Structure formats: structure tokens, C-alpha cells
Amino acid sequence: MYRKFTKPTVVISKCLEFEACRYNGLKISFDPLTLMMPHIDFVPICPEVEIGLGTPRDPIRIVQKKNLTLIQPSTNKKLTHTMNEFANSFLHNLKTVDGFILKAKSPSCAIKDAKYYFKKDKEQSTGKGPGLFTKKILKSLPGLAMEDEGRLRNFHIREHFLTKLFALSSFRNTKNTKKISALIKFHADNKFLMMAYNEKSMRKLGKIVASYDKSNITKIFKSYEENLQLVFEKPYKRKTNINVLMHAMGFFSKFLTKKEKNFILDLFKQYTDRRIPLSALIQVIRSWITRYQNVYLENQTYFEPYPFELMDISNSGKGNL
């Protein structure tokens, strides 16, 4: 019961294991990358190097006045226009992308925790927000899978990121077929997964598919894609996972012994109490799918949302879900 996956394309900050291009001439250790490399096509990029800053280099910072200004205090270089021009050009030429893994706290790449300062030479900050390069990404491609390396060290956050990433990648492959039959199959195969995240949005997507006529295939795919991204806007909840698993259990209820039913119900409680991971429950259901040869459930991406080899439950404790 192992799926074939469309390989996602992910833009990643080059300093995360790829190259020693940080301002201090170092690179950042990012252990999850070792597992991800065989399953994801990475596009490494360092916006600061791309706009002509060397390695090592004097730090840059964001000054918040009327508008955000990117500046290198030691040289007084104003880099806002150059960074914005590079970001626009990079995104324009980026033909395929499903997600981003970006450097936390970076004035160019941070998603939400780059420091903003009152003045170029003052240490007091006015708050935090996205780096200038990422600000352009958030405006152009807000619905894609996006995380920083610090948060991805947390297992639950990494699980959500990978689930969204591989779902969007699979949809991209479906969209490229331009066939309604492929979209119908995608929706059917992802029904349980979308139900675990947002059942209301899942039903809306079903209505979008049902509204197809021969003249509006492009419009259907565009509308479906926009709403699919919203499905994964927030991580799933334990309660919705239990609902999905109970629904799956219903397919086998007439075959299970009382002892087997009590066993899985006890696992549900342990999961609700945060004593075991979701994967423990899924493995039990998967064994029943194989045992009873249930083709419908076998095709549900919920039971293998991303490659099994990426299932690493180690957790640094960093980040919040």
C-alpha cells in the first residue's frame, strides 16, 4: 500500500546545508534535509548573495519608517529596490514551485520573525515581520506550503508542511492533465485527507467539481486550486482525525471482533490524550485495509499523505503547532 508520489519542487534558503553563504560565512545545520533530499526537488537560493553582497558580509537590517527599507548600516547601502527587483524577477522565472523552506529571522528570507528597527544604527526594534524577499513571495504565492527551518524541527509542524506540500504537488500533476476525469479521481482519493483538515471546504470542492461543463475546464481547475490551498491553511485537529478514523473503521466493523474494536478504541483515547502519534492509529487501519482488500480506502491519501521514508517522529520541541 505504498503510493507513487509526484515530486514536489521547493525553494529553499541556500544557507540551509547547501552552501556556506550566511553573512558570517557559515551554513546552517538542518537535519530533516537528509530525509527530504531523495523525495523533493530543491531550488536553493540566497537573495542576499544574488543582489551582490559577498560572503562573509556585513549584516543588513530592515528599518521601518513609512515603508520598509532594507539597509546595510556599515556601508549605508540602501538595498530595498535591488531586493524587490530580484524577488520579482526570480518569481517571474520560477516555472514550477509547490513550497518554500526559508531561513528564520533573516531580513531577506524570514516568514514572520525578521526584526524591524527604528533606525539603521539603533538596537531597539519596532516589531517583527517577513523579510523583504519573502514579503514578495507571500504576496504572489500565499497559498503554497511555507515554513522556516526552525519550526520544521517540530514533528507536528513538519507533518503538516509535508502533507500540504505533497497534496499540492499531486494536484499540480492533476491540473497538467487538463482532464476532468483526473480531477474527479484526485478529489475522490483525497476525500478523507481533506475531511480531516476542513470538511466544509472539502464539500465546497466537491461542488466545484460537480459544476463542470465542457466549456469551463480551465475555470474549474483554477477555482479548485484556490480552494484546495485554503483546505490546508491550518493544521488538522485531533478531533477531526478521530472522526475520519471512525468513519474508516466503519468499513470493517462487521469483520472485527469485540477485542479488536476495543483495542482500536483504546488507541483513539491514547491519541486524544496525546500519548501516541497519529501514525500509530493509521498503521492499524492500514493493516485492516490490506487484510480485507478495501480498494476505496487503499486509494485514500490520508493513510499515506507523503512518502513513508519521511516519517520521522523525532522532535526538537521548537516551534508551535
Domain count, the chain: 2
**What pLDDT does 124 receive?**
83
Alpha-carbon distance of 210 to 225, in angstroms, equals 15
Position 314 confidence tier, pLDDT thresholds 50, 70, 90:
low
Q: Which amino acid is at 70?
A: L
Total count of residues recorded for the chain: 321
Whether 164 and 233 share a structural domain:
yes
DSSP code, position 233? S
Q: How far is CA 21 from CA 28, 54, 56, in A?
A: 9, 8, 7
Question: Domain check: are 277 and 190 in the same one?
Answer: yes
Residue-wise pLDDT tens digits, 13-51: 999 999 999 999 999 999 999 999 999 999 999 999 999
Q: Is 95 exposed, middle or buried (0-12, 13-18, 19+ CB in 10 A)?
A: exposed
Question: Residue 130: pLDDT above 90?
Answer: yes
185, three cell numbers = 479521481
Last residue of a domain, one of 129, 149, 169: 149
Q: Do 167 and 307 have their domain in common?
A: yes
Alpha helices in the chain (DSSP H): 32-36, 47-50, 80-93, 132-140, 155-177, 180-189, 191-210, 217-231, 238-249, 258-272, 278-292, 295-298
Please tell me whether residues 214 and 277 are part of one structural domain. yes
> Quick one: pLDDT at residue 313?
60
Domain assignment of residue 2, yes or no: no
- One domain for residues 137 and 159: no
Indicate whether 184 belongs to any domain: yes
Q: Are 66 and 200 found together in one domain?
A: no
Give the C-alpha separation, 20 to 18, whole Å. Answer: 7
Residue type, 52: G
What's the pLDDT at 179? 96
Question: What are the backbone dihedrals phi and psi of residue 216, each rounded to the nearest 5 degrees, phi first?
Answer: -125, 30
User: Do 142 and 203 have their domain in common?
Assistant: no
* Mean model confidence pLDDT for the chain: 94
Closest to 103 in 3D by CA, of 3, 185, 28: 28
Name residue 213's amino acid: D
Mean pLDDT of 110-133: 92
Last residue of a domain, one of 93, 121, 149: 149
Both 61 and 121 in one domain: the answer is yes
Q: Which residue has the higher pLDDT, 183 or 277?
A: 183
Contacts of 129 (CB under 8 A, 6+ apart): 62, 68, 110, 112, 114, 116, 135
Domain around 110: 9-149
Asked whether residue 320 carries a pLDDT value surpassing 50, the answer given is: no
pLDDT for 231-251, tens place per residue?
999 999 999 999 999 999 999
* Whether the predicted pLDDT of 1 surpasses 60: no
Joined grid coordinates for residue 156: 507536528
Q: Is the pLDDT of residue 113 over 70?
A: yes
pLDDT at 315 over 80: no
Between 52 and 308, whose confidence is greater? 52
Instruction: State how far the Cα of 86 lies from the Cα of 88, in Å rounded to an integer.
Output: 5
Q: How confident is the model at residue 319 (pLDDT cuts 50, 70, 90)?
A: very low
Whether residue 56 has a cis bond before it, omega within 30° of 0: yes
Q: Rounded to whole angstroms, how far apart are CA atoms 138 and 239?
A: 30
Which of 132, 149, 166 terminates a domain? The answer is: 149
pLDDT band at 321 (very low <50, low <70, confident <90, very high): very low
Q: What is the mean pLDDT of residues 273-291?
A: 93
SS (H, E, C) 246-307: HHHHCCCCCCCCHHHHHHHHHHHHHHHCCCCCHHHHHHHHHHHHHHHCCHHHHCCHHHCCCC
What does the radius of gyration of the chain's CA atoms come to, in whole angstroms? Answer: 22
Q: Are residues 73 and 166 in the same domain?
A: no
Do the domain assignments include residue 123? Answer: yes
Pairing mode, if any, of strands 114-117 and 68-72?
unpaired
Residue 79 to residue 84: CA distance in whole angstroms = 9
Regarding predicted confidence, which is higher, 124 or 289? 289
pLDDT above 70 covers a percentage of the chain that reads 97
Tens digits of residue pLDDT in 195-231: 999 999 999 999 999 999 888 899 999 999 999 999 9
